[in-house]
Amino acid sequence: MSSAHRIATVNKYVEAFARKDIGLIRQIFADNATVEDPVGTDVHKGIAAISAFYEGSFGADARLSLTGPVRCAGNAAAFAFEVHVAGMKIEVIDVFEFDAAGKVVSMKAYWGQENISQ
C-alpha cells in the first residue's frame, strides 16, 4: 500500500488518542492484529483484546505527539513520538506492519524505563 496511506494511518492513530475514539482504532487494526507494547511484554492478540488495551490508555487520558516524520519502508511504518500520561512523558518508537488490505496487522512499541521522565 502507499506511503500516503501509511502516514495517514499514523495520523489517525494519534487522532484516536486525542478524541478517545475506539472506532478509529477498530478502523486502523486488522481483526487478527497483534499489539506488543512495550516489546518483550505479553502480546494483545485480536481486535477485541486490542480495543480493550486502547480503552485503558484512553481512560488514562494518554496523549501522543509525533517528534519526527513517519518512516515508510517495505510493508511497514516507523515513527517516534512522546506520550503524555499521568504526569509523565514517555518517549516511544512504534513500528506498524500493514497487511495487503492496508490494515495494521502488527504493532510493536519500543520504550523502556530510561524513556520515562516527569
The residues carrying an active-site annotation are: 13, 37
How far is Cα 92 from Cα 57, in angstroms, rounded to an integer? Answer: 15
> Would you say 17 or 96 has its CB closer to a copy of itself?
96
- Least Å distance, CB 24 to a copy of itself, is 23
Distance CA 13, CA 109 (A): 13
Residues that bind a copy of itself (CB under 8 A): 3, 7, 38-41, 67-80, 91-93, 95, 109-115
Grid coordinates representing 78 are 516507523
Do the Cβ atoms of 34 and 107 come closer than 8 Å?
yes
Q: Which residue has the cell 509523565?
A: 88
Nearest distance in Å: CB 33, a copy of itself: 18
Shortest separation between residue 23's beta carbon and a copy of itself, angstroms: 28
- In the complex with a copy of itself, which residue's Cβ is closer, 59 or 74? 74
CA of 35: how far to CAs of 13, 45, 110, in Å? 13, 7, 12
Q: Which of 86, 76, 94 is nearest to 1 (CA)?
A: 76
Nearer to a copy of itself, 23 or 69 (CB): 69
